[in-house]
Amino acid sequence: MTDNILISHEPASGEEVWRGPLGDVDAAVSAARRAWAPWAARALTDRIALLRGFANTVRRDSDMLADLIAREAGKPLWEARNEIDSVVARIDIAVQAYAERTGKKKLDSGVGASAALRHKPHGVMAVIGPFNFPAHIPCGHIIPALIAGNAVVFKPSEKTPAVGEALVAAFHRAGVPEDVIQCVIGGPEEGKALVAHPGIDGVLFTGSAQAGIAINRKLAANPGKIVALEMGGNNPVVVTDTPKLADAAALIVQSAFTTAGQRCTSARRLIVVESVYDALMAELVPLARKLMVGHPLGEPQPFMGPVIDNETADRLTESFVALLTAGGRPLLHMRRTVPDLPFLSPGIIDVTDVPERPDIELFGPLLQVIRVPDLDTAITEANNTRFGLSASLIGGSPEDYGRFWANIRAGIINWNAPTNGASSKAPFGGVGLSGNHRPAAYYAADYCAYPVASNEMDQPRATVMIGVRP
């Protein structure tokens, strides 16, 4: 970012993808405030029809958008295409969620009167998106917000501005008014200005715990702004007795290394009951070693592309070395596979003997392994974190899973399934440093409109019965 110009580069090649001026937060918020009331006054059916048009626009431009995501975010093309499919599917899910969770209701009342529950939009919502799902995650906020009647000012990650700009252009081509959904390009300073702007009625954020905590602190004295924080996780996979160790290894690989480990639900810790440790490692390490790391548009398609930039790759390799220095035992060394570019091979390290394991989100393909004697100890170890987003149990009996489910602190708890790949038809969020109890996905409708209770009569009818002089 130089001289008020933002430039993004392909992680896989270092080549420039996009450049453009920083956005004007004040101008965008002012335009959104003017546009909000007419948009909210439109019939719900009209808003939904325009958003279905957006889905058709994205479907028509899917090849272009997937190619852009692959190049700018560094995702393999197969994964970028899956992201676009998720954006298209989001419309029907959001419409159903709005009807179910914020629809109109008639309530019981007295004779000649009625009571009702309806929902109103908040106003102008700021959506701050991440780089790892630069289309799908922002749309998880934007689409429910627009359906509810809000206007939106969207700041994409400074690492994926081209995708953000293309996404908003697709809304406009579908007929959503330009001032109702706007893209403000910028970095942390523009994000801070948007959060603090008095014309913003809500902040919908996806990103790091550090940034989310800063937003929460900034708005702590302003309860009038709705704040939904989706942050990261130090997510555990627990493996107990199972005869299907090859399947277990595949689930672990999917959890830890999909998207080069750059998902908030990616597994960071593998907690293994001692009785299956050796046999599991004999399956896991060779499988992880076989994963193809390559250019997102390469053929054959790789399992993993690069991490987002060289700075991230440097931090991850330094973290691997730090864990080794602290007493970790390498099971699969993390390596830079291409000089001067952020391609990393998967890293697996046994940290059982590390006395103070860091409770941080290492956002990349680095998996820490911890050996434990039994499932109860594994559950305790899994909860040894300030985060609480996603957790999975692999193996065990239904009773084991019941104990696991009852005692794990997380917003997403799976059995014999990866930690990632959550359904948009369910709530998505966590506890602790992972979120503020405002889950996204299907429950996004809850924070995009507020409930209004009404008691109603067609004519005033009342008397004062007590305490009145004759």
Catalytic residues: 230, 264
CB 391 within 8 A of CB 235: yes
CA distances from 66 to 9, 62, 70 (A): 16, 6, 6
The Cα 277–Cα 369 span in angstroms is 10
The 10 Å CB-count burial string (b at 16+, else e) for 7-16 is: ebbbbbbeee
DSSP secondary structure string for all residues of 454-467: EEE-SS------SS
CA distances from 295 to 78, 253, 261, 266, 317 (A): 12, 19, 16, 21, 20
Q: Which region, left, alpha or beta, applies to residue 379 given φ > 0 means left and ψ of -120 to 50 means alpha? A: alpha
Kindly state the DSSP code that residue 225 receives in the 8-state scheme.
Answer: S
The SS3 assignment for 93 reads helix
DSSP secondary structure string for all residues of 118-135: EEEE-SEEEEE--SSSTT
Length of the chain, please? 470
Query: 3-state SS of the chain: helix, strand, coil percent to 5?
Result: 40, 20, 40
366-372 and 202-206 strand pairing: unpaired
- The C-alpha angle 107, 109, 112, rounded to 5 degrees, equals 125
**Amino acid in position 183:** C
Angle between helices 188-196 and 25-41 (to 10 degrees): 50
151-155 and 124-128 strand pairing: parallel
The Cα 410–Cα 383 span in angstroms is 9
